[in-house]
């Protein structure tokens, strides 16, 4: 470790900033956010920096640098392009044991400023010891994307309760256990959802009932998307990584499942046509039982839980049992598969509406209202219809849909195994009989399918799995 990470308390303390250009402006913003009183040395001052100084009770002390300006300051930042000035500032600060940073010159720095993720009171600094600042900024961007901004609210809530918790628990291990429960459970989830009064009330209740209260469980109904793990939302990933129990469907890909917490209990409850690993009433019962036992339960569903995912049925059971729950939307198959296949669901020239249709009804029939599906300028997307493709095609033709209407089958969409078969209502059944694309697959019907050859980027029916793997390897 080349540098010891430290955090300076600069609130209402004088800091000398030398240089008033663009670089000086960036450093001034940071210093002022930390509460410093900036004293600026510069011949020219950026207009925005001038406004910042006025608003923060900072001041312009001189045009030229002189070592006397170091009196009574606690920290110095040199942001000039004058090498002689920078070296002099360094020498004068070293002689006085003053912390000094010369921007973009690690050799003249006694401290360096890291890339910062600010979730005050939680602050994260990322440093490359001045050797790879761009890499540090890239890492900061990664952390920014996975740490919700409301961690700031969670930290402030903890600060308000810190003394009360310390009074309640004299043992440090008990205090740690209490905070771990709060930071990873229902209190934190209320905060992340912007429910601060509810979070504060719940934390107070947990503190008051800490001797007798049972763990509070919750169910998270999470859309896992169509298969590509990079299509998960940040919220979905966060909940998956803190779950005690995960109930997952057949359509949840192995890559997505691998992102769940390593020691979570994984329960397969997938459904296949005419073969259910766990019947729906038993799934509902499991969700309730696990939550009432104080566990955090993720119900992981392929696609979106509210699009042919029976999420509404499960929430009705949870509501009746008094179990707290959240719903995290996922990218549904219609959106992902059409996008990966280069088939826009709407297009100004071809389709102004979209219908999402299940190819299998509750009574296991396909008694669909085809009359409302034959209107022009719309896109039809059938879920779970591969096994009834001939019935779907026959129903559309019977109600007057032209035989020349383009149609596409997208199998295992968004995964490396994705395959697309295109044709028309007239020939698609024969093509599928010869090709035998596997389920799961969606069926897209409409003029927008004609754009597939032009817009497809993921792969096409001519791209075999072998050729895809070869391209990826290259």
pLDDT in tens, 416-463: 899 999 999 999 999 999 999 999 999 999 999 999 988 876 554 444
Q: What is the CATH number of the domain that holds 361?
A: 3.30.950.10
Asked if the structure places residue 135 within a domain, the reply is: no
Statement: residue 466 has pLDDT above 80? no
Asked if the structure places residue 426 within a domain, the reply is: yes
pLDDT digits 0-9 by tens, 58-69: 999 999 999 999
pLDDT digits 0-9 by tens, 155-185: 999 999 999 999 999 888 889 888 988 898 8
Query: Which has the closest alpha carbon to 359: 325, 334, 335?
Result: 334
Do 240 and 191 reside in the same domain of the chain?
A: no
Asked if the structure places residue 467 within a domain, the reply is: yes
**374 known ligand binder:** no
pLDDT digits 0-9 by tens, 318-347: 999 999 899 999 999 999 999 999 999 999
Instruction: State which of 113, 133, 164 marks the end of a domain.
Output: 113
Q: At what angle do helices 428-435 and 389-398 cross, to 10 degrees?
A: 170
Q: What is the pLDDT of residue 359?
A: 81
Q: What is the pLDDT of residue 353?
A: 95
**258 known ligand binder:** no
Contact partners, residue 470, CB within 8 Å, separation at least 6: none
Q: Cα–Cα–Cα angle for 164, 170, 173, nearest 5°?
A: 105
Domain containing residue 21: 14-113
Q: What is the pLDDT of residue 276?
A: 57
Q: What is the pLDDT of residue 130?
A: 84
**303 known ligand binder:** yes
pLDDT digits 0-9 by tens, 246-257: 999 988 999 999
**302 known ligand binder:** yes
Do 57 and 77 reside in the same domain of the chain?
A: yes
Q: What is the pLDDT of residue 470?
A: 44
**387 known ligand binder:** no
Distance CA 115, CA 94 (A): 24
Query: Which has the closest alpha carbon to 191: 137, 155, 227?
Result: 155
Statement: residue 213 has pLDDT above 70? no
User: Which band of pLDDT confidence, cut at 50, 70 and 90, is reported for residue 464?
Assistant: very low
Asked if the structure places residue 72 within a domain, the reply is: yes
Statement: residue 111 has pLDDT above 50? yes
Q: What is the pLDDT of residue 212?
A: 56
Instruction: State which of 283, 312, 331 marks the end of a domain.
Output: 331
Distance CA 203, CA 188 (A): 9
Do 201 and 250 reside in the same domain of the chain?
A: no
Q: What is the pLDDT of residue 171?
A: 87
**44 known ligand binder:** yes
User: Which band of pLDDT confidence, cut at 50, 70 and 90, is reported for residue 366?
Assistant: low
pLDDT digits 0-9 by tens, 268-317: 998 766 555 688 899 999 999 999 998 999 999 999 999 998 899 999 99
Do 186 and 249 reside in the same domain of the chain?
A: no
Instruction: State which of 113, 128, 160 marks the end of a domain.
Output: 113
Which active-site residues does the annotation give? 249, 271
Mean per-residue pLDDT of the chain: 90
DSSP of 134-162, one letter per residue? HHHHHHHHHHHHHS-TTHHHHHHHHHHHH
pLDDT digits 0-9 by tens, 214-245: 666 899 999 999 989 999 998 999 899 989 99
Q: At what angle do helices 172-184 and 151-168 cross, to 10 degrees?
A: 150
Q: Quick one: what percent of the chain has pLDDT higher than 70?
A: 92
Do 54 and 167 reside in the same domain of the chain?
A: no
Q: What is the pLDDT of residue 174?
A: 86
Q: What share of the chain is helix, strand, coil (3-state, %, to 5)?
A: 40, 20, 40
* Domains of the chain: total: 4
């Amino acid at each position: 470790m080349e540098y010891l990470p430290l955090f300076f308390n600069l609130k209402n303390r004088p800091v000398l900033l030398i240089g008033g250009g663009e670089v000086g402006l960036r450093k001034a913003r940071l210093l002022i956010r930390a509460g410093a009183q900036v004293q600026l040395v510069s011949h020219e001052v950026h207009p925005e920096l001038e406004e910042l100084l006025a608003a923060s009770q900072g001041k312009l002390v001189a045009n030229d640098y002189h070592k006397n300006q170091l009196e009574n300051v606690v920290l110095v930042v040199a942001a000039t392009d004058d090498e002689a000035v920078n070296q002099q500032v360094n020498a004068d600060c070293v002689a006085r044991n003053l912390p000094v940073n010369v921007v973009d010159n690690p050799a003249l720095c006694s401290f360096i400023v890291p890339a910062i993720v600010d979730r005050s009171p939680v602050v994260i600094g990322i440093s490359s010891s001045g050797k790879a600042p761009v890499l540090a900024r890239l890492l900061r961007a990664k952390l920014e994307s996975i740490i919700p901004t409301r961690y700031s609210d969670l930290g402030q809530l903890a600060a308000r309760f810190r003394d009360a918790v310390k009074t309640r628990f004299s043992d440090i291990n008990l205090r740690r256990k209490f905070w771990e429960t709060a930071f990873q459970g229902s209190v934190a989830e209320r905060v992340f959802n912007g429910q601060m009064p509810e979070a504060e009330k719940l934390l107070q209740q947990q503190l008051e009932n800490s001797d007798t209260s049972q763990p509070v469980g919750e169910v998270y109904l999470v859309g896992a998307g169509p298969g590509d793990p990079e299509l998960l939302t940040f919220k979905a990933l966060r909940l998956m990584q803190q779950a005690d129990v995960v109930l997952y469907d057949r359509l949840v890909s192995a890559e997505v499942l691998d992102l769940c917490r390593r020691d979570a209990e994984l329960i397969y409850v997938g459904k296949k046509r005419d073969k259910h690993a766990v019947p729906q009433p038993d799934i509902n019962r499991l969700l309730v039982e696990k939550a009432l036992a104080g566990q955090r339960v993720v119900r992981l569903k392929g696609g979106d839980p509210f699009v042919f995912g029976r999420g509404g049925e499960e929430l009705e059971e949870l509501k009746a049992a008094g179990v707290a729950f959240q719903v995290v939307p996922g990218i549904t198959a219609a959106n992902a598969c059409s996008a990966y296949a280069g088939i826009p669901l709407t297009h100004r020239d071809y389709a102004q509406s979209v219908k999402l249709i299940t190819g299998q009804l509750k009574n296991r029939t396909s008694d669909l209202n085809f009359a409302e599906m034959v209107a022009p300028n719309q896109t039809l997307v059938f879920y779970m219809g591969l096994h009834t493709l001939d019935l779907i095609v026959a129903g559309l033709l019977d109600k007057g849909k032209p035989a020349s209407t383009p149609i596409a089958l997208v199998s295992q969409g968004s995964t490396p195994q994705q395959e697309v078969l295109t044709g028309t209502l007239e020939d698609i059944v024969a093509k599928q009989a010869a090709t035998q694309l596997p389920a799961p697959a969606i069926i897209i019907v409409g003029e927008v399918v004609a754009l597939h050859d032009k817009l497809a980027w993921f792969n096409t029916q001519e791209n075999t799995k072998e050729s895809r793997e070869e391209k990826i390897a290259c």
